Structure 1
Amino acid sequence: MPTGVALRDARQQLFDAAERILLRDGPNALTSRAVTTEAGCAKGVLHRHFDDFDTFLAELVEDRIARVEAQEAALCASAGTGTVTGNLAEALTTVFESVAVAIVALITSRDELRAKLRATRPTGVPLASEATAMIASYLAAERDLGRIAADADIDTLAPMLVGAGHLVFADRTGPRPDAEAVRKVVTTTIAGVARDR
């Protein structure tokens, strides 16, 4: 007799289940059994779609990186509109209110996962590196429009913003930071270079 429920898009449902576990219980709670239980399916479903659990996790990370890369286009398109601070605060909130903080913790805690990711992403911390690239692209677009100083060191500002954003959102068990806390981090970081805050 079959167990669980039929999965229309098994891979996505497994990814979504893993994300819920990461957000609710953290990276230490993430096991193949926990994922399939959360998804409401038999354990064999995960192994039918992925070679092993670390392959599943690597593809989960890649899926979430793709979301950040898609967000980059929208953020860069917002250059010249709203305020630089508002756009950056919203981008950082979108990245870090999602599963990004838990994914970074997952990557740093699993050697096999890091090894799999290094095959295609040899430097930096996956997801954090893509968020940094997104912020750098946006800052460059704003610099081209004159809303960021021409001599702004974007290669330093982008990781500063991502690192500070990560720290603001890092306490998974505490209350979510309010919008003003995120704006304050952004305002302070870009104070010397922003022409339109």
Structure 2
Amino acid sequence: MPTGVHLRDARQQLFDAAERVLLRDGPNGLTSRAVTDEAGCAKGVLHRHFADFDAFLAGLVLDRAARLEAQAGALRESAGTGTVAANLTEALTTLFGPIPMAIIPLITFRDELRARLRQARPGGGMAILSEATTAISAYLADERDRGRIAADADLDSLTLSLVGGGHLLFADRDSGPPEAAAVSRFVTSVID
């Protein structure tokens, strides 16, 4: 691999390459060599920007979790518009899209990655699932404040049901994401 290839934003290009490898080959295929080959750079580029591969993976997860936080803002802005079920259906489809669903097993099966994420994000919770939980909970509270969800609704239980059930709906990577109608049926049954 050539060593003189200049990368404009090396970190972002490496993260994007890791995303492609993760989607194509799954968590087991995500190696430093696979990432740098995909990015078209020498392996040393990754190690110039990150102490080791687990530091790189922690950076990747935190970067993608931050993107979900931005998407959570869009969900909160939708409060009071459309229907609650439609907004939640769209949110689950976004929050449990291909990248987040590929990252979750990566976190689950790499002990060192989980340890680094706990250091970077004290307070518990699994990156990606924490962002989804926070987003859904805040949205439900906003809708309750607008009277579109019952005042006595147990938001914690609704949130856990939506996030846990949503995760299960989207977890089977081989068959692709569920149909929008299936997600809508699920959301409607939970919030009714």
- Tell me whether the two structures share a fold, i.e. TM-score over 0.5: yes
Structure 1 contact 69–134 (Cα < 8 Å) conserved: yes
RMSD: 1.4
Aligned to 2:152: 151
Aligned to 1:179: 180
What pairs up with 1:15-54 in 2 under 5 angstroms?
15-54=15-54
Structure 1 contact 26–102 (Cα < 8 Å) conserved: yes
Does the alignment pair 1:141 with 2:108? no
What pairs up with 1:8-19 in 2 under 5 angstroms?
8-19=8-19
Aligned partners of 1:24, 1:184: CA distance in 2, in Å? 29
Aligned partners of 2:96, 2:125: CA distance in 1, in Å? 17
Aligned length: 191
Aligned partners of 2:4, 2:169: CA distance in 1, in Å? 38
Structure 2 contact 2–41 (Cα < 8 Å) conserved: no
Structure 1 contact 4–40 (Cα < 8 Å) conserved: no
**Shift in alpha-carbon separation, 1:91–1:39, aligned structure 2, 3 A:** same
Aligned to 2:118: 118
Structure 2 contact 17–35 (Cα < 8 Å) conserved: yes
Structure 1 contact 17–35 (Cα < 8 Å) conserved: yes
Per the alignment, in what secondary structure is the counterpart of residue 2 of structure 1?
Answer: coil
Per the alignment, in what secondary structure is the counterpart of residue 96 of structure 2?
Answer: helix
Aligned to 1:194: none
For 2:98, the aligned partner's letter is: S
Deviations 1:110-164 (A, max 9, x none): 0100110111234122110111010000000000000001011111111211111
Structure 1 contact 23–172 (Cα < 8 Å) conserved: no
Aligned-pair distance for 1:5? 4.2
Aligned to 1:195: none
Aligned-pair distance for 1:166? 1.1
Aligned-pair distance for 1:4? 7.5
Aligned-pair distance for 1:6? 2.7
Structure 1, unmatched stretches of 5+, are 192-197
Structure 1 contact 14–36 (Cα < 8 Å) conserved: yes
Structure 2, unmatched stretches of 5+, are none
Deviations 1:51-70 (A, max 9, x none): 11000000111001101111
Aligned-pair distance for 1:175? 2.9
**Shift in alpha-carbon separation, 1:145–1:41, aligned structure 2, 3 A:** same
Identity, in percent, stands at 68
**Shift in alpha-carbon separation, 1:121–1:174, aligned structure 2, 3 A:** farther
Aligned to 1:63: 63
